[in-house]
Structure 1
Amino acid sequence: AARKYSAATESKRPLLPKKQKRPATRRSLVHYLKGREVGAWGGAGLSGSEGELRRCAVQKLPELLKERELALGTLNKVFASQWLNTRQVVCGTKCNTLFVVDVHSGQITRIPLMRDRGPWLARAQQTCGIHTIELNPSKTLLATGGENPNSLAIYQLPTLDPVCLGDRHGHKDWIFTIVWMSDTVAVSGSRDSTVALWRMDPDTFNGSIAWHNDAGLPVYAHIRPRDMETIPRSSTSPSNRKVQALAFSGKNQELGAVSLDGYFHLWKARSTLSRLLSIRLPYCRENVCLTYCDELSLYAVGSQSHVSFLDPRQRQQNIRPLCSREGGTGVRSLSFYQHIITVGTGHGSLLFYDIRAQKFLEERASTSPDASPGPSGRKLKLTCGRGWLNHDDLWVNYFGGIGEFPNALYTHCYNWPEMKLFVAGGPLPSGLHGNDAGLWS
């Protein structure tokens, strides 16, 4: 196959004089595949110098960032966040609050949650909250949870008017994750061990003004999923198939999912979902986050102690897992940008991993005032502020009134054009009530 490819390619390429020929390795298919195996990123769509400058900026940015803490009052644990524009971030919390924070002024605006059409059982919903917020590719729709955390809520942007709600015909338990496959198709994953595919009718949100009833309250459509698939039962943990995280490959039109029983699942995603494979993950405890990088064709899975890398098209994975080494508190949030992975830990810190070099970014140290800074050998770590913690009876009786608790960084999102990073979370122990948020720039 490689010989046929090479011959076909060479037959269409004009012959060059000998002195202008490029080295054979540069146009070798083997060279290309080997580069792809180790996650080489060639700066697709960028000229050599521009691509190199951008990669350099991405690598240098983390050590230049400084945090400005944002006060969120008494809200409990920020689980999800997304930039709406250059100064507003929308967030969801464990206390089931959807709000927008202005990172310049600190002003917080709460967004009303959508209610189910029929009655539903209010089972200690305060312990769940909003775990996911996602914007569609054109940033015209926002998907998140409803007042009932089992329901899928769709809002129109930039107004945040309610559009539609997927309620009683959808999930039977809390929604943990949502991804958009296109501007009008979203997939949600739930604690009920199912993934659901939803298609939004463009006629529902083409109008710029939301519907209202006689009392002036917003009225929205109620939708049902086009397809629902159940996570396959494993022999190792047949009852613990909660869908923790989803990621979509637009290039391959494939949907990756991570379930709490320690498996990665892959579906072909079209008008319905067709499962392709299920893979046992190398680290099975607390696989709670997942991200995908189109350029590298890689999924990254965050667990209690490691980030594992998966290319489903290769039997043998060529990029070794990275260990977070943060006291067993786990990886709580992950994001890819070019060749750098940002890792939010359960111990209040951000780490940065260079996938090409397969090592963490290091702090820079200067041996003398006249020398240029060089690697110090110490891992670059950004530590977030203390945030706010509720000093209630549980804190006193069960945690001994410990003055400081590191905050788990459940969510982070970049505004790359302005080189800003929003980070938020709260105390890791489930019984503690608190929050933390900061703008790094």
Structure 2
Amino acid sequence: MRQADSQTQPSPAEQEMPQPAGPSNSSPPTMGPQQTGSRKRKAAEVDQGAGTSSSPGPAAAMATVGAGNAEGSLMLTKRPRRPIAHLSMVNYLKGRALGADGHPGFAGFEGDLRSYGVLRLPELLRERQLTLGPLNKVFASQWLNARQVVCGTKCNTLFVVDVKTDHIMRIPLMRDRVPDLSRGPPSCGIHAVELNPSKTLLATGGENPNSLAVYQLPTLDPVCLGDCQGHRDWIFAIAWMSDTVAVSGSRDGTVALWKVDPDMFNGSIAWHKDAGLPVYAHISPTDMEAIPKATTNPGNRKVRALAFSNKNQELGAVSLDGYFHLWKARSSLSRLLSLRLPYCRENVCLTYCDEFSLYAVGSQSHVSFLDLRQGQQNIPPLCSREGGTGVRSLSVHQHIVTVGTGHGSLLFYDIRAQKFLEERSAANPDMFPVPSGRKLKLTCGSGWINQDDLLENYVAGVEDFPNALYTHCYNWPEMKLFVGGGPLASGLHGNYAGLWS
């Protein structure tokens, strides 16, 4: 509920000056400023007097007005039309808060309210596990709408899950124009699923994990496949720079820029007459740049994560050799800098915070913040060690960083306060909950594990196999959080998906 501001908005009557009721038969004489002001004061006196108990009757009032018109010193004014009244108290309060013109007068209060909601939401979330069947490890996810989430898995499956019914719809993957017959079954899967800013296109991997596939939304019809002169190894990360330009990062140590021609999807999509399969374009990257080789670990320059800053038109990339790279992103990619990360082991996730212009990098045991404007790290790194399994997914909204760990837990870090959110508790039900000093941690459920793999690869009696949370995504209008993952050990086949709301 919005509250009144110290500077109240003027009422409709105050904003709209009285207007003449209509043109007179005889043109009124031209008046100076003082005469005009006198006329307005007299008209106002008529409006005010009409509402008092001592006002003259209708006949007397008309006589007075008529006399004024005859003298040329007073004209009948028309009251401003009152807005249509709404019976809803919500509409009334909203209208009062926005003011007569409908312009927001409480941006500061609304901002504080949203910030408070972001701060309090994590402790109110409750889990409902979703059933995904025998799929193996959810690596990527994005909300399509209020009830559907699109996901990619290690078993190279692209699907949409309805979070209300658990219904799963699989999406056919696009095939390369010239299949690579020497390549065996994909063991990488789909590591990235990204929507463009207008949510009209979806970019992900193809049947060949080296290729970039683009689908049209909301129909999920195939648009194009980047399989020509592209990556030679698995795509690990994708970022949209605009509605029609995407960048992919690969295990081959390159980043590729792709342009999707609007003509590919403006018209109706053609279909093969015989097989009933859709026809899609095959495209090549417009630019491809290699990650510079580090002297310390030159053979491990695999691109693991990407994040785009729309404010600065810059692209951040993290490679497994422990480096962060910054590129100026225009019609081509131009590398600005490369710097050694403070924590170099298993840097597998990256996100960008618009509010503070920071890049956040997740590693085996820490989240490091990079403020490239200052040329230094002015926010200390946070230790996220949960059983030594590290950070597997990161996201930021306003000033709250959500951390998905390899030990099946979600942590929440406040950048402003530079500390983790804490659990709140009260000594008795009549007291207001206060921070307890204990780190707020949401622990995810057990998910599903293939028992045959469990017996084959691990010693009997070991029952604790928490799920690594490889992906999570918020639906802020609905105040919901989707979390996906699976067993951290590569030898285990299983999955986890949960809706937190």
Q: Is this a same-fold pair by TM over 0.5? A: yes
For the 8 Å contact 2:228–2:283, the answer to whether it is kept is: no
Shift of 1:213: 1.5
Task: Determine the structure 2 residue equivalent to 1:37.
Answer: none
Local SS of the residue matching 2:142: strand
- Match of residue 410, structure 2, among 341, 347, 350: 350
Shift of 1:398: 2.8
Task: Determine the structure 2 residue equivalent to 1:364.
Answer: 424
Does residue 403 (structure 1) correspond to residue 454 (structure 2)? The answer is: no
Task: Determine the structure 2 residue equivalent to 1:422.
Answer: 482
Per-residue CA shift, 1:392-425, capped at 9, x if unaligned? 2x42243214333100000000000010000010
Measured in 2, the distance between the counterparts of 1:282 and 1:340 equals 22
Amino acid at match of 1:379: K
**1:104–1:373: structure 2 CA closer, same or farther, 3 Å change rule?**
same
Amino acid at match of 1:242: K
Does residue 264 (structure 1) correspond to residue 324 (structure 2)? The answer is: yes
- Match of residue 192, structure 1, among 248, 252, 260: 252
Amino acid at match of 1:422: F
Does residue 413 (structure 1) correspond to residue 473 (structure 2)? The answer is: yes
Per-residue CA shift, 1:38-85, capped at 9, x if unaligned? xxxxxxx97211111111000000000000000000000000000000
Does residue 171 (structure 1) correspond to residue 231 (structure 2)? The answer is: yes
Task: Determine the structure 2 residue equivalent to 1:113.
Answer: 173
Measured in 1, the distance between the counterparts of 2:217 and 2:442 equals 32
For the 8 Å contact 1:118–1:168, the answer to whether it is kept is: no
Local SS of the residue matching 2:436: strand
Measured in 1, the distance between the counterparts of 2:233 and 2:181 equals 11
Q: TM-score when scaled to structure 2?
A: 0.78
Task: Determine the structure 2 residue equivalent to 1:40.
Answer: none
Per-residue CA shift, 1:328-366, capped at 9, x if unaligned? 101000000000000000000000000000000000011
Task: Determine the structure 1 residue equivalent to 2:272.
Answer: 213
Amino acid at match of 1:226: T
Shift of 1:220: 0.3
Local SS of the residue matching 2:376: coil
Gaps of 5+ in 2: 1-104
Task: Determine the structure 1 residue equivalent to 2:80.
Answer: none
Task: Determine the structure 2 residue equivalent to 1:329.
Answer: 389
Task: Determine the structure 1 residue equivalent to 2:436.
Answer: 376
Per-residue CA shift, 1:153-181, capped at 9, x if unaligned? 00000000000000031000000000000
Amino acid at match of 1:305: S
Local SS of the residue matching 2:352: strand
Local SS of the residue matching 1:266: strand
Give the number of aligned pairs.
Answer: 395
Local SS of the residue matching 1:51: helix
For the 8 Å contact 1:298–1:311, the answer to whether it is kept is: yes
Task: Determine the structure 1 residue equivalent to 2:240.
Answer: 180
Amino acid at match of 2:455: V
Measured in 2, the distance between the counterparts of 1:405 and 1:59 equals 30
For the 8 Å contact 1:298–1:309, the answer to whether it is kept is: yes
Per-residue CA shift, 1:302-339, capped at 9, x if unaligned? 00000000012222211000001201101000000000
Question: Structure 2 matches for 1:66-145, cutoff 5 A?
Answer: 66-121=126-181, 123-145=183-205
Higher RCO (CA 8 Å, separation ≥ 6 residues): 1
Q: TM-score when scaled to structure 1?
A: 0.88
Task: Determine the structure 1 residue equivalent to 2:284.
Answer: 224
Aligned-pair identity in percent equals 78
Shift of 1:206: 1.0
Measured in 2, the distance between the counterparts of 1:260 and 1:310 equals 17
Give the aligned CA root-mean-square deviation in angstroms: 1.2
Measured in 2, the distance between the counterparts of 1:181 and 1:195 equals 13
More strand by share: 1
Amino acid at match of 2:311: K
Does residue 246 (structure 1) correspond to residue 288 (structure 2)? The answer is: no
Does residue 339 (structure 1) correspond to residue 399 (structure 2)? The answer is: yes
Larger Rg: 2
Task: Determine the structure 2 residue equivalent to 1:53.
Answer: 113
